[in-house]
Amino acid sequence: MILGTPLRSWCRLEVRGLEALREPGGILLVANHDSWLDPLALGETCMRVRRPLRFLAKAGLWRNPLIARLLDGIRQIPIQRGAGDLAALEVATSALADGETVCIFPEGTISRGERLRARRGVARLAEAAPEARIVLAAVTGGTDLARFPRRPHVTVELFAARSGPPRPGEDHQALADRLLDEIRERVAPVPAGRRAARPAVTRVAAG
């Protein structure tokens, strides 16, 4: 992954639980999102086991033609946030059925140090692709990039949901909440920048 080059040369990346990605078949990777560095760290993590990673990314990123060309080149999936984007869901479901790895951030946006409520898209995708394994990822250290010249130490911890896979008839919001809760038990929301972290509060992301 070309975007992993600056990560390797500047950031120190530590990965725990990499064996969770070694089994064949589709993987739905569910992660926290506190920094723009998180996707790069996750992508580089997957490349260590030769698993190209596709993200469900907000469609607004495609407004810039150069960024759009880059995202299309690495086969990322644009999604209209908060709009029940069925087309994006179908693309992601097809990718999982083909044995690919698809990542979704259940919070829908960067946390900015606040505890956001999970969006139901992760549950809809899990329901649409029941054959895919769900792997949770707790990413820490990405926000340290704003504290230059301090060299970031980014850790990606991969693990299975302690509360188990989706249950028959489970409410979408309940599933999304419990997956995000397990991630946030391991990594609290942290604001980027030099200021001290504020206590996390829960809010619903707009859009």
CA 65 centroid distance within chain: 24
- Which H or E element spans position 157? strand 153-159
At residue 81's C-alpha, the angle toward residues 80 and 83, to 5°, is 75
Question: Tokens 């619903």 belong to which residue?
Answer: 204
Task: Give the range with max mean pLDDT: 1-15, 93-107, 185-199.
Answer: 93-107
What domains, with CATH codes, occur in the chain?
A: 16-188 (3.40.1130.10)
- What is the pLDDT, as a whole number, of residue 205? 47
Prediction pTM value? 0.85
Q: In the chain, pLDDT over 70 holds for what percent of residues?
A: 83
Whole-angstrom distance, CA of residue 187 vs CA of residue 136: 12
| CB hemisphere CA count around 154 (13 angstroms) | 31
Q: What is the pLDDT of residues 129-180, one digit of tens each?
A: 999 999 999 999 988 765 666 777 899 999 999 999 999 999 999 999 999 9
Contact 140, 11 (CB under 8 A): no
* pLDDT tens track for 114-127: 999 999 999 999 99
Residue bearing tokens 């089994």: 23
The CA-atom distances, in angstroms, between 92 and each of 77, 124, 171 are 7, 11, 21
User: Residue 186: is its pLDDT beyond 70?
Assistant: yes
Q: What are the C-alpha distances in Å from 202 to residues 118, 136, 157, 161, 177?
A: 10, 20, 23, 21, 12
